[in-house]
Amino acid sequence: MLRNYFKTAFRTLVRHLNYTIINVAGLTVGIAVCMMIFVIIQYQTSFDTYHANRSRVYRVLTEHRSSDAANIPFSKDVPFPLPNALKTSFPQIEKVTPIFASNNDQILVTDENGKTLQQFIEPKGVFFTEPSFFELFDFPLLAGTYTSLQEPNNVLLSKATAEKYFGDWHLALNKTIKIQVGGYVFEHGTEVLKVSGILENPPANTDFQFKALVAYGTGFTGSLMNKSIDWNDRTNQGFSCFVRLPEQTAASGINKELATYAAKVQSADNKDVYQLQALADVHYDTQAGNFSNTAISKQLINVLWVIAAFILLIACVNFINLSTAQAVNRAKEVGVRKVLGSNKSRLQIQFIVETFLVVLFAVILAIILTVLTLPYINQLLNLSLSLQIVDRVQTLLFLLAITISVTVLAGFYAALVLSRFNPIEALKSRFKVNSGKGLSLRRGLVVFQFIIAQALIIGTLVIVKQMNFFMNAPLGFQKEAVVNIPFRVDSLRISRLDYLRGKLMSIKGVEGVSFSSNTPVEDGADNWTSFRFNNATKESDYKVITKFTDDQYLSTYHLQLVAGRNLKPSGYTQEFVVNESFVRSLGIKNPEDVLRKKVSIWNGLINCEVVGVVKDFNNRSFRDQVAPLVMTTNNTMYNQAGIQLTATNIPATLAAVKALFSETIPDFVFEYKFLDEKVDGFYRSEMQLAQLYQLFAIIAIFLSCLGLYGLASFMAAQRVKEVGIRKVLGASTGNIIYLFTKEFILLIGIAFAIATPLAWYYMHQWLQDYAYRIEIVWWLPLIGGIGALVIALLTISFQAVKAAVAKPVKSLRTE
Amino acid sequence: MIKITDLEKFYRTEEVETIALNKLSMEVKEGEFVAVMGPSGCGKSTLLNILGMLDDADAGSFVFNGIEVSKFNERKRADIRKHNIGFVFQSFNLIDELTVYENVELPLIYTGVKASERKEKVEKVLDKMQIMHRRNHYPQQLSGGQQQRVAVARAVVNNPKLILADEPTGNLDSSNGNEVMELLTDLNEQGTTIIMVTHSEHDARFSHRIIRMLDGQTVTENILV
Ligand SMILES: Nc1ncnc2c1ncn2[C@@H]1O[C@H](COP(=O)(O)OP(=O)(O)OP(=O)(O)O)[C@@H](O)[C@H]1O
Ligand SMILES: [Mg+2]
């Protein structure tokens, strides 16, 4: 019985091969997109879920209450005294693990005599922590012991890192490496570390992408961080704390106690509080972020789901449209079957079996397609997806669910329509493609498809335009042909800065050199401080950015003074230049009025006069408004050189610069970054979103057009005779093409009218995240609509032209 | 009005080559009513299609109103066709999705007649064919005779000089058939040239002249008037 169904179904599919191919192709792409999104989401939701204690692990977040200049109410950074305070004052917390994540560390691999063999720079992945780290998180050890991290100057390397440094990880154990921690906050030297263990490489789905775990207590982490009792210290970037609670302990109780505790230990003007955040929420917290910049918002995950569902729906719509249209053609066959005694349900089963076969085939092809395109998606989204990560059972269930739901969605309606045919009518073949309810549903579905496709196109256009704005809008300073070369602060280097500058300036192609703590624009890597203006008694209730810059900063980055003068050359801090926003934030109109007034920052540590005001430039990403800024000299704070190059022959100039750096500063890993690339990097997530939207828009329009193509070819087949008659009566080719396209133009027009406000609203909301943003001009949606229309018309025209140019006698003969 | 000389038409299929018209020559004067008869497959419809410029001949000359049209391209032929020739088919060839009125209006739309003028013309011809009361019906809702009257109305709405009719009564019973024949005779009397293919001697007697064909050639002519 069932065999018979399958045999008949197979024959039917082969006989209508054209439609079968269109159906399978559409469903394949739709299902593949779904599967891809499923894999991405499964990957994203698997982060740090494999730790045995995951439900009891929390991260401590700082809720910044005293300030909002930084616009970040929550951050993952905590004051240095916090871990010890939790250990001593909160006995109900089982484990407290401080983690300091440094960055841009230089690693020196030395021989027995301490001679440097190899140098590495680790932008990320060096964590200073305690053995309790492994009582919170599961990272298997290959050699050595976890407890060795109790002793300062011990380090556990990941297998990959050990292999990178020593060739074979077996050789790494008990070897020594030297580390010079990056960053500028601490005056620190080189630490000698002993490799006391090797860890299995962290899996891709953990936010702890460590390369080396150094014992907390080594170097400044022991001498400074672990000893600190200063809750107001603002220099804590990268310092986090995780805790493990006993079973059945709620975080909320501890949060309450923490608030009371913080109020007790902190000075009156420090209102910051601390909160426990469940490990399960960490990966989705895009605001506080994580150590590897992989946080993804729940909202984005939902958007992905919605897009997956829509794409699948579009594919199903194609199937429904084509099948019901075809059903008309098959009316006769159905009629015969009915007359021969086949009942309704038999016909329905027959049709469902056909659908099932198509879907099954599409699912198989979709799996192949997914496997083939996964590397591309990885590259696009900067992920490391693999089908190994994927939970097999879940994936199988997902595929099964897809197969069933698509079969039901796509097959059921068509089955109903088909079996409802009246046998007499069907035998007379009186059915026309555009008669009755079938058409209005089909029209509705086409409109639905094009709403999605056009909304995605409009969304893409808006994102792309905003991206162009990010890349090209003037920032108020020079970012082209500027390279930044980071270096580490120590007294030796400080002593050579002037020599270095002189030498650099003598290189052909170098136009300007400036040493500073930051580039003009940073995405979160700035120093913020509250301040007192003009000997005010109270500190400001907002923070300003502090940049330490030499006197060449303005000229190197082409910043303009609007009042006063530039900083005088100095190695010390003796005067301030501020920006217009700073002046405005004080409620002062005339920049001249702040000149010669005193500003004190860092709790009075620095207290100098303002000597100049610079024109506002974008010192933060376009997400945020220009922040108030103070700039001052201090050569112990410089950690990078900004070099303005002439636009020609940059490689040669860079080679000379590199040679100079290596010669002047020993044990130095030369690295450079073009400022414009760094700025572009701020918008990487937007860039990915733009690419993702583009991809989905293309797929949606492709699928919709595939459906249109099928419908048009079906229409053409149905209307051969009508076209013939019309031509006999004098219709031109243009008339016939219009006949075919006018309905679709109308449908796409309706879709456009619905898609535009939807897309506009959604994209308008999206743009609100950016302080600097484009306007959605009226012609932007129009371009999207016209684009979709043109593509659709080209698709239909292929069939329409074929029908239109055929000789009328040919079509009339079919009678 | 029409003069064809040594007209040839072949159909090639994979296995066989059919000679549908074999060096056929004939002439039709303005105002004539000509019937074309002959056994099935002798090339009558082929001839009519070529005369109606729906198809082109493989060889020979075709002069229409003093112009040699056999070398004309599709667009030029379509242009002559829509202004000069009306068609009536055995199977009516009405468009099912359009009403009677819309079917008749179609040739006027394609020749670019203004909307106001169209209404007048369509109503006049529907009146004449006595199907005015059916103007908003769809073809399926009409009897065969009524459908053919709509088809004739559509063929003449543009005032063509020539009407080509391929077995116009083939699908009709005798009384409906006679009605259509009378319509054609009326039109002829008002000056329209008519070439009609038919299997019926009865119908053929409405014409002035009968051309008999066999194997793609004319064999005899009977002059009736
Ligand atoms: N498109 C075609 N392809 C191949 N052969 C064709 C084609 N059209 C006509 N023929 C052949 O050409 C010959 C003439 O056909 P035509 O239709 O002109 O005949 P007819 O005289 O109108 O016949 P009937 O009285 O049956 O309508 C026939 O042998 C037919 O089989
Ligand atoms: Mg014929």
**Tens digit of each residue's pLDDT (9 = 90 or more) over B67-84:** 999 888 888 888 888 889
Q: Which residue from A275, A236, A276 is spatially nearest to A78, judged by alpha carbons?
A: A236
Does A289 reside within a domain?
no
Note whether residue A59 is domain-resident.
yes
Domain chopping of chain B, boundaries: 2-94+144-223
What letter does residue A732 receive in the DSSP assignment?
-
The whole-number pLDDT of residue A428 equals 46
- What are the two backbone dihedrals, phi and then psi, of residue A115, each rounded to the nearest 5 degrees? -80, 135
- pLDDT value for A421: 62
* DSSP state for residue A730 in the 8-state scheme: T
Of A435, A726, A807, the CB nearest to B106: A726
Last residue of a domain, one of A433, A468, A499: A433
pTM (2 decimals)? 0.78
pLDDT, one tens digit per residue, over B1-28 is 999 999 999 988 888 888 999 999 999 9
Identify the DSSP state of A429. T
Nearest to A120 by CA among A128, A133, A110, A132: A110
More confident residue, A629 or A381: A629
Q: What is the mean pLDDT of chain B?
A: 91
Residue A117 lies in a domain: yes
Q: Report how far residue A239's alpha carbon sits from residue A262's, in angstroms, rounded to the nearest whole number.
A: 17
Of A614, A642, A667, the position where a domain reaches its end is A667
- Mean pLDDT score, A91-113: 89
Q: How far is B26 from chain A (nearest CA, A)?
A: 22
**Which numbered atom of ligand 1 lies nearest the CA of B47?**
18
Q: Which residues of A556-574 are buried (b: 16+ CB within 10 A; e: fewer)?
A: bbebeeebbebbeeeeebe
Do the domain assignments include residue A323? Answer: yes
Residue A641, phi then psi, degrees to nearest 5: -105, 130
Neighbouring-strand partners of residue A215 = A129
Give the tokens for residue A12. 């039917």
With CA atoms as reference, report the closest residue to A554 among A514, A591, A599: A514
Task: Look at strands A95-102 and A239-244 and give their pairing.
Answer: antiparallel
pLDDT score of A630 more than 90: yes
Checking if the pLDDT of A419 tops 70, the result is no
One domain for residues A530 and A542: yes
Q: CA A129 → CA A33, A49, A100, A188, A533, distances in Å?
A: 41, 21, 7, 18, 39
Domain that residue A17 falls in: 1-47+313-376+384-433
What pLDDT sits at residue A437? Answer: 45
Mean of the per-residue pLDDT values for chain A?
Answer: 86
d(CA A522, CA A169): 37
Question: pLDDT-derived band of residue A220, with 50, 70 and 90 as boundaries?
Answer: confident
Find tokens 């003069």 and name the residue: B3
- Domain contains A293: no
Spatial separation of the C-alpha atoms in residues B183 and B187, rounded to whole Å? 6
Task: Mark whether A552 and A652 lie in a shared domain.
Answer: yes
User: In the structure encoding, which two tokens stand for residue A636, read together?
Assistant: 């112990």
Whether B43 lines ligand 1, by a CB cut-off of 6 Å, is yes
| Min Cα–Cα distance to chain B from A324, Å | 19
pLDDT at A167 over 70: yes
Which residue blocks in chain B are alpha helix, DSSP H? 44-51, 74-84, 100-110, 115-128, 144-156, 174-189, 201-204
Instruction: Give domain status of residue A298, yes or no.
Output: no
CB A172 within 8 A of CB A166: yes
Determine how β-strand A606-614 pairs with β-strand A561-564.
Answer: antiparallel
Percent of chain A with pLDDT over 90: 40
- A672 CA to centre of own chain: 24
Predicted ipTM of the assembly: 0.89
Whether residue A425 has pLDDT greater than 70: no
Dist CA B83 CA B162 (whole Å): 10
- Measured between CA atoms, the residue of chain B closest to residue A808 is B54
Average pLDDT over residues A554-559: 95
What pLDDT band is residue A114 in, cutting at 50, 70 and 90?
A: confident
pLDDT tens, position by position, A320-332: 888 777 766 666 6
| A548 pLDDT more than 90 | yes
Please tell me the number of Cα atoms within 13 Å of A264 on its side-chain side: 9
**Residue A425 and residue A498 share a domain:** no
CB B41 less than 6 A from any atom of ligand 1? yes
Q: What is the pLDDT of residues A784-793, one digit of tens each?
A: 899 989 998 8
Q: Using the 8-state DSSP alphabet, how is residue A293 labeled?
A: S
Q: Is the CB of B20 under 6 A from ligand 1?
A: yes
Class of domain B2-94+144-223: alpha beta
Cβ pair A812:B89 closer than 8 A: yes
Within a domain: residue A292?
A: no
Instruction: Clarify whether residues A526 and A406 are in a common domain.
Output: no
Asked if B75 lies within 8 A of A732 by C-beta distance, the reply is: yes
Instruction: Enumerate residues 89 to 118 of chain B having a beta carbon within 8 A of any beta carbon in chain A.
Output: 89, 91, 93-97, 106-107, 110-111
Task: Write the single-letter amino acid at A690.
Answer: A
* Cβ contact, residue pair B110, A721, below 8 Å: no
- C-alpha separations of A280 from A55, A57, A74, A287 in Å: 7, 9, 17, 15
User: Which residues are within 8 A (CB) of A222 and not within 5 positions of it... i.e. 6 or more apart?
Assistant: A152, A216
Higher pLDDT, A72 or A531: A531
Beta strands A673-674 and A606-614 are unpaired
**In this structure, are residues A385 and A39 in contact, taking their beta carbons and an 8 Å threshold?**
yes
| Burial class, A128, CB count within 10 angstroms (exposed 0-12 / middle 13-18 / buried 19+) | buried
pLDDT at A436 (0 to 100): 45
A345 plus A261 within the same structural domain: no
CA dihedral sign, ordered A50, A55, A60, A62: positive
Measured CA to CA, the distance from residue A173 to residue A777 in angstroms comes to 63
Confidence grade of residue A647 (pLDDT, cut at 50, 70, 90): confident
Give the pLDDT band of residue A435 (cuts 50, 70, 90). very low
Position A418 scores a pLDDT of: 66
Contact B203, B169 (CB under 8 A): yes
| CA pair distance B91, B169, nearest whole angstrom | 9
Element (H, E) at B87: strand B85-89
Q: Is residue A492 pLDDT above 80, yes or no? A: no
Give Cβ neighbours of residue A599 (< 8 Å, ≥ 6 apart).
A531, A532, A533, A534, A576, A578, A607, A608, A609, A610, A630
d(CA A145, CA A85): 27
Mean pLDDT lowest among A8-22, A143-157, A643-657: A8-22
The crossing angle, in degrees rounded to 10, of helices A298-329 and A17-44 is 170
pLDDT at A363: 93
The pLDDT confidence band at residue A431, using thresholds 50, 70 and 90, is very low
pLDDT of residue B78: 84
Locate the ligand 1 atom nearest the alpha carbon of residue B167 and give its number. Answer: 27
The answer, yes or no, to whether residue B29 has pLDDT greater than 60, is yes
Per-residue model confidence (pLDDT) at position A462: 92
Cβ B140 under 6 angstroms from ligand 1:
no
Please state, in angstroms and as integers, the Cα–Cα distance from residue A21 to each residue in A28, A414, A801, following that order. Answer: 10, 18, 22
The encoded tokens of residue A37 equal: 């999104």
A702 within 8 A of A789, measured Cβ to Cβ? no
- Say which residue the tokens 């013309």 belong to: B121
Identify the sign of the CA torsion A608, A610, A614, A617: positive
Q: Is the CB of B9 under 6 A from ligand 1?
A: no
A99 φ/ψ angles, rounded to the nearest 5 degrees: -135, 120
**Does the beta-carbon distance from B106 to A729 stay under 8 Å?**
yes
Helix (H, G, I), strand (E, B) or coil at A152: coil
What's the pLDDT band for A199 if we cut at 50, 70, 90? very high
Among the bound ligands, the one closest to the CA of A807? 1
Contacts 24+ apart (CB under 8 A), A160-168: A160/A201, A160/A211, A161/A125, A161/A211, A161/A212, A162/A195, A162/A198, A164/A120, A165/A107, A165/A109, A165/A118, A165/A120, A166/A109
The CA distance from A281 to A283, in Å, is 6
Is residue A163 one of the residues assigned to a domain? yes
User: Which residues on chain B are in Cβ contact (under 8 Å) with A806?
Assistant: none
Q: Is the pLDDT assigned to residue A815 strictly greater than 60?
A: no
Count of CA atoms in the C-beta half-sphere (13 A) of A804: 20
